[in-house]
Structure 1
């Protein structure tokens, strides 16, 4: 980096640090579960542990196990299998809880190594005398991206003093049996669960964005079923921060913020000079909030799930479709009132507060048992932050744990089969359809409806599944005429579809137009394209024309001429006929003369040869020479 680059980088770094300092300043509450020790008697009792922010906590349940502290690899930063260590329980034995020390590597790596060695859960003993913290996954860009999504066991952090008690008991040879209890990790006061998801419309932030978008698609069906049944009350939220006043006129703030620095988001590509800006993300976040509000007014708040999943599929940043135009197409396809959404969004350029975004910033501040929201994504169930893998099954368990006992809906009792709903029955799921041909692109699946162009009569329709699907390739004309113009009149059908791979719609001969919406008949008579002979009479027909001749003459279409029914009646083209006859006569006469001359020459030579055998002539030697040459 040159000398000029360093000051700019320093200014930018300072700018980002100040912004994030504003964002994260606040209280952060640790979600705890209860850890109860049954044996030995010396440490029997209840202790707190902090739920890890990855893996799959057993919300609503508990897990008993026997604690093991490895002799080697005590921090769990290396693979246990390399040392021949296995934590897999024998049949009938309690599951193994592996105790490891904090330090030297990521929490998630410790848990991943223990899981691969057969552990059922992991306890991490803190090495500092401090309040419990939440074990989080590392930031994007680390090697952990390869395994973090595959961690399926729960984990918890215990404080230093309790960790030392566990180690001391194990060193003496005591059997340490414990029970991890998550039943109180989520309050369950009544028969309805209130939960909220802090999310983002940015789809270019790496693994966490991919994980979030995949969760939205997977969980949509269950979320909509729970909402439609009145079992849950869901609210989406979006994190923003404000730009420090000293930087509101800077290039960075102007490109990342709306309403003169009041509401900001990070640059998606982390490059201020290219691609999308942070303000594009804030604007789409605002639009998604207003989609939820307008849908909620019509008592269909679950439509938000359709919008965010469709927007992700149809308007990705990678394809440069992220923005207003594509978003409005999605809104229209879902039957939402676009004018109400625009009114809700307000003016993003105004030097004033935006009521919707201001509420979001206030909601980020922790209330009651919930701390400040500073991490994306964050799921909050009954005002208690969810810790664990953002995955359909794990989240479903957490939500079901929030119902008062005996009030759980059937989906919580009978498994995932009850989640299946047919979203294509309402408004065709917002997908493309051809009502005339009874064809639809809507497919109902366990993870919700998808819009995919179907295969009809062996022909694959192609398109985005939302706005259009059209047949292509061989056989396409069998499917709704390939999307081309066609019309039938008086028992005659014309089509602009050509059954070829190019897929173009071309008006047939006798018509002109785009081939898709219309093909208009050409008036060949008016355009002087037919019946040009003197005795011709032209009459235009649909897609063609008819030509007749006066005075009982016959019309020859290939030559656009009229001729008589007999030689004496020919009125037109007589000179041409005579010319043909004369040429044929001359050719025949010339051919006959040539033939006759060659025949006479041949006969003369043969006669002279015969006569020479009986009457030698003066020229006999010449004849003999001629015969010899002929036989050579």
Structure 2
């Protein structure tokens, strides 16, 4: 309970005036989880006292913490920030941590602890202001829960009024009050195996608290599976349902929120009966998740439940309108779970009879032994003790490990971190290239695994990472043919992938289809009316066609005609003949021209020599004339 009267920070469901919030046939019984608080000095207060563990912060399950109690002079209820009053609880090096004592009243428990933490406190003790049995301190329940609650990391506890008065008196008299908070016995350890259960819900539209639960489920999956696979723990998931009072079974509200004629109900996720998802959608998915656990348990692999619920959160959220059977079946299939067996386990939600699985869940809500009734979500129970504190991986691991007998705890409890490779089994439920096992969308991380399409050889795969991943961009055809169709027959190969950065697959010429799963041969003879000439004959082949001509005719594909082979040969011979004749004629003409040129050049030189004897030419010097000599 919160100091101002609001309830437990874990989400509580309400069905309005139609559904009774009490458990069938029993009064609600809430058990306050306690830890020991021991005062070692002064003698006036020395002794061991009970304190109620707060539902926020991180209790040190399995351990203890020593400190000095401090009572501030101002802001004694802790409702304001202490630095406004110049107060700091920061411990000096070598000194004991400060346990701040504050009074109950005026503001939320969580706000008191947050203000003290910011001022340096290591733990907070809240003194009750009335004489009553201890209650569990809680955080605000209304919408818009302050974000600081998630950041509270120190432990806190509520103490009785009379004990608080004794502490204040001792501190006021100047005494040093040494206190030891002990959580070592907060969780019993009857044997060498820890049994724990988580009361959860598949609804993801209940605001901040649903978001906190989903985040925890994702973070805690790895440690939970390691503990379960090693046989160190036995985990059981549970789901709360309410029943619809008989007087309202036939009402519109009960029909939309319940299955099996009002026997099992959940509130409307959006708190709107006229739109969106109904409460019965939540009940059906809760039932499916219970059946997943049962089927996984039958195959000795109960940890598969964690795979299913975390994958369902990612792949089938209400916000994306995927919270339905079709999406759930896709998750089941990717994890190798038998859908028909799950459906048989779930039974008929419209039957006017009890559902045996949900009936067991309602019976289990009733508290037994040291555990109180479960009426709020989420609730974690370890060795039949209800966990108190922040629903956070490290804190919950500590609580579970505190449930082992001393010296029997597994090695994971002695290490600061827990690491596991989620991709080793069933490829983590992610997509995997069946033709190349080294290509997978499963990526192992410290928190578990993510299904993310990979980057291989510079080629990026795209898809949801769970059922599909396709190569895209340049080079995609080199990897599994880009996810496109391809085939080979009779020495021919065809592919629907074009490596041009195109992300689509297109059947090549001669084929038709989607280009991804299939490309069928086109009968060009029928569909494209190939070989239309009168003498033509068409034969379809895989990816193409052949045309032939009747008799002694030859097919000319470019003109789609048939011609005579003899005519073609005659034309070919005459063509060769005329080529030769023309060639010879051109050679003769060329020779004749050369002959004429050389003859003319020779005659010109002879004529010039003869004429040079009778008269000088312009280009010659005068020659001596011997015929002019005188004779006697």
Does the CA-based 8 Å contact 1:563-1:570 persist in structure 2? no
Deviation per CA, 1:286-337: give whole Å up to 9, x if none.
Answer: 1111111121112111111111111111111111111222212222222223
- Displacement of 1:451 in angstroms is 2.0
Matches within 5 A, 1:112-191: 112-144=114-146, 146-191=147-192
Does the CA-based 8 Å contact 1:192-1:231 persist in structure 2? yes
Residue 414 (1) aligns with residue 415 (2): yes
Residue 474 (1) aligns with residue 470 (2): no
Does the CA-based 8 Å contact 1:126-1:159 persist in structure 2? yes
Does the CA-based 8 Å contact 2:496-2:507 persist in structure 1? yes
Structure 2 counterpart of 1:373: 374
Matches within 5 A, 1:416-431: 416=417, 419-431=418-430
User: Secondary structure at the residue paired with 1:149?
Assistant: helix
Structure 2 counterpart of 1:596: none
Structure 1 counterpart of 2:296: 295
Matches within 5 A, 1:264-279: 264-279=265-280
Matches within 5 A, 1:9-48: 15-16=16-17, 19-21=20-22, 25-48=27-50
Does the CA-based 8 Å contact 2:18-2:244 persist in structure 1? no
Looking at structure 2, the residues matched to 309 and 204 of structure 1 have their Cα atoms a distance apart, in angstroms, of 15
| Higher gyration radius (CA) | 2
User: Secondary structure at the residue paired with 2:294?
Assistant: helix
Deviation per CA, 1:173-220: give whole Å up to 9, x if none.
Answer: 111110100001000122100000000011111111111111111111
Structure 2 counterpart of 1:76: 78
Structure 2 counterpart of 1:518: 518
Q: Aligned pair in 2 of structure 1 residues 253, 479: CA closer, same or farther (>3 Å)?
A: same
Which of the two has greater helix per residue? 1
Q: Aligned pair in 2 of structure 1 residues 14, 279: CA closer, same or farther (>3 Å)?
A: closer
Residue 85 (1) aligns with residue 87 (2): yes
Does the CA-based 8 Å contact 1:140-1:206 persist in structure 2? no
Q: Aligned pair in 2 of structure 1 residues 528, 60: CA closer, same or farther (>3 Å)?
A: closer
User: Secondary structure at the residue paired with 1:236?
Assistant: strand
- Displacement of 1:527 in angstroms is 4.2
- Displacement of 1:390 in angstroms is 0.8
Does the CA-based 8 Å contact 2:19-2:243 persist in structure 1? no
- Displacement of 1:423 in angstroms is 3.1
Q: Aligned pair in 2 of structure 1 residues 491, 17: CA closer, same or farther (>3 Å)?
A: closer
Q: Unaligned stretches of 5+ in structure 1? A: 1-12, 572-632
Does the CA-based 8 Å contact 1:556-1:563 persist in structure 2? yes
Looking at structure 1, the residues matched to 90 and 105 of structure 2 have their Cα atoms a distance apart, in angstroms, of 24
Q: Unaligned stretches of 5+ in structure 2? A: 1-13, 573-632
- Displacement of 1:157 in angstroms is 0.6
- Displacement of 1:247 in angstroms is 1.9
User: Secondary structure at the residue paired with 1:118?
Assistant: coil
Structure 1 counterpart of 2:452: 452
Residue 100 (1) aligns with residue 102 (2): yes
User: Secondary structure at the residue paired with 1:16?
Assistant: coil
Structure 1 counterpart of 2:384: 383
Q: Could you tell me the TM-score, scaled by structure 2's length?
A: 0.83
Higher relative contact order (CA 8 A, sep 6+): 2
Looking at structure 2, the residues matched to 496 and 504 of structure 1 have their Cα atoms a distance apart, in angstroms, of 9
Does the CA-based 8 Å contact 1:140-1:207 persist in structure 2? no
Residue 435 (1) aligns with residue 437 (2): no
Structure 1 counterpart of 2:595: none
Looking at structure 1, the residues matched to 531 and 571 of structure 2 have their Cα atoms a distance apart, in angstroms, of 18
Matches within 5 A, 1:181-330: 181-330=182-331
Looking at structure 2, the residues matched to 557 and 94 of structure 1 have their Cα atoms a distance apart, in angstroms, of 99
- Report how many aligned residue pairs link the two structures: 556
**RMSD of equivalent CA atoms:** 2.5
Deviation per CA, 1:98-139: give whole Å up to 9, x if none.
Answer: 111111111111111111111111111111111110011111
- Displacement of 1:399 in angstroms is 0.4
User: Secondary structure at the residue paired with 1:220?
Assistant: helix
Looking at structure 1, the residues matched to 18 and 31 of structure 2 have their Cα atoms a distance apart, in angstroms, of 23
Looking at structure 2, the residues matched to 413 and 567 of structure 1 have their Cα atoms a distance apart, in angstroms, of 95
Does the CA-based 8 Å contact 2:109-2:139 persist in structure 1? yes
Looking at structure 1, the residues matched to 88 and 491 of structure 2 have their Cα atoms a distance apart, in angstroms, of 81
Which stretch has the larger CA shift, 50-59 or 468-477? Answer: 468-477
Does the CA-based 8 Å contact 2:334-2:429 persist in structure 1? yes
User: Secondary structure at the residue paired with 2:461?
Assistant: strand
Q: Aligned pair in 2 of structure 1 residues 528, 448: CA closer, same or farther (>3 Å)?
A: closer
Structure 2 counterpart of 1:617: none
Q: Aligned pair in 2 of structure 1 residues 527, 319: CA closer, same or farther (>3 Å)?
A: closer
Looking at structure 2, the residues matched to 400 and 135 of structure 1 have their Cα atoms a distance apart, in angstroms, of 24
Looking at structure 2, the residues matched to 75 and 528 of structure 1 have their Cα atoms a distance apart, in angstroms, of 90
Does the CA-based 8 Å contact 1:563-1:569 persist in structure 2? no
- Displacement of 1:559 in angstroms is 4.1
Residue 508 (1) aligns with residue 508 (2): yes
- Displacement of 1:560 in angstroms is 3.8
Looking at structure 2, the residues matched to 15 and 486 of structure 1 have their Cα atoms a distance apart, in angstroms, of 60
Looking at structure 1, the residues matched to 15 and 420 of structure 2 have their Cα atoms a distance apart, in angstroms, of 51
Does the CA-based 8 Å contact 2:18-2:248 persist in structure 1? no
- Displacement of 1:39 in angstroms is 1.6
Which stretch has the larger CA shift, 217-226 or 552-561? Answer: 552-561
Q: Aligned pair in 2 of structure 1 residues 34, 536: CA closer, same or farther (>3 Å)?
A: same
Q: Aligned pair in 2 of structure 1 residues 507, 127: CA closer, same or farther (>3 Å)?
A: same
- Displacement of 1:555 in angstroms is 6.1
- Displacement of 1:143 in angstroms is 4.5
Looking at structure 1, the residues matched to 538 and 353 of structure 2 have their Cα atoms a distance apart, in angstroms, of 75
Deviation per CA, 1:428-461: give whole Å up to 9, x if none.
Answer: 2222212212222222222223322212222221
- Displacement of 1:87 in angstroms is 1.3
Looking at structure 1, the residues matched to 501 and 458 of structure 2 have their Cα atoms a distance apart, in angstroms, of 15
- Displacement of 1:536 in angstroms is 5.6
Looking at structure 2, the residues matched to 90 and 270 of structure 1 have their Cα atoms a distance apart, in angstroms, of 51
Looking at structure 1, the residues matched to 346 and 435 of structure 2 have their Cα atoms a distance apart, in angstroms, of 38
Does the CA-based 8 Å contact 1:54-1:108 persist in structure 2? yes
Looking at structure 2, the residues matched to 343 and 540 of structure 1 have their Cα atoms a distance apart, in angstroms, of 51
- Displacement of 1:339 in angstroms is 2.6
Q: Aligned pair in 2 of structure 1 residues 341, 14: CA closer, same or farther (>3 Å)?
A: closer
- Displacement of 1:477 in angstroms is 2.2
